[in-house]
């Protein structure tokens, strides 16, 4: 291996290691858009799915969907992307996965809003 190729490879390994540690790497742009807990519930209700049905569509457990909706965890990777696509155009996913539920009849409310209504 030529020295210039080895040096370039060594530099890239150093940059990858720095990125893995969470350090900034010159010239590297990372695009991360998290999915908010209210977005999870809103999208689920928009497509008319129960938490169990939504979990099945996303390949997650019902407990995971509940944790997303109450804000204990956030969806990432493929689940977050699929939630965004469902929110944008549910018909795309419905056609691809072959489900057609009726739209949900209510909109999600925060726990705080429910507590205020109870008072």
Quick one: fold of 37-118?
434 Repressor (Amino-terminal Domain) (1.10.260)
* Cβ contact 108:49 at 8 Å: no
Lowest mean pLDDT among 33-37, 39-43, 85-89, 99-103: 99-103
pLDDT at 29: 77
pLDDT at 113: 58
pTM of this prediction?
0.58
Percent of the chain with pLDDT over 70: 80
Instruction: Report the sign of the C-alpha dihedral through residues 56, 52, 65, 85, in that order.
Output: positive
pLDDT at 93: 80
Q: Is 26's pLDDT higher than 80?
A: yes
| 53-72 residues labelled b (16+ CB within 10 A) or e (exposed) | bbbbbbebeeebbebbbeee
Among 58, 46, 57, CA closest to 102? 46
Domain range list for the chain:
37-118
pLDDT at 46: 87
């Amino acid at each position: 291996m030529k020295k210039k190729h080895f040096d370039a490879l060594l530099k890239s390994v150093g940059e990858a290691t720095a990125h893995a540690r969470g350090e900034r790497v010159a010239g590297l742009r990372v695009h991360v858009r998290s999915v908010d807990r209210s977005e999870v519930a809103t999208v689920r209700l928009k497509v008319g799915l129960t938490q169990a049905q939504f979990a099945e569509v996303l390949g997650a457990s019902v407990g995971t969907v509940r944790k997303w909706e109450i804000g204990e965890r956030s969806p990432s990777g493929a689940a977050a992307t699929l939630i965004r696509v469902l929110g944008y155009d549910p018909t795309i996913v419905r056609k691809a996965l072959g489900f057609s539920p009726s739209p949900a009849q209510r909109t999600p409310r925060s726990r705080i809003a429910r507590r205020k209504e109870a008072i």
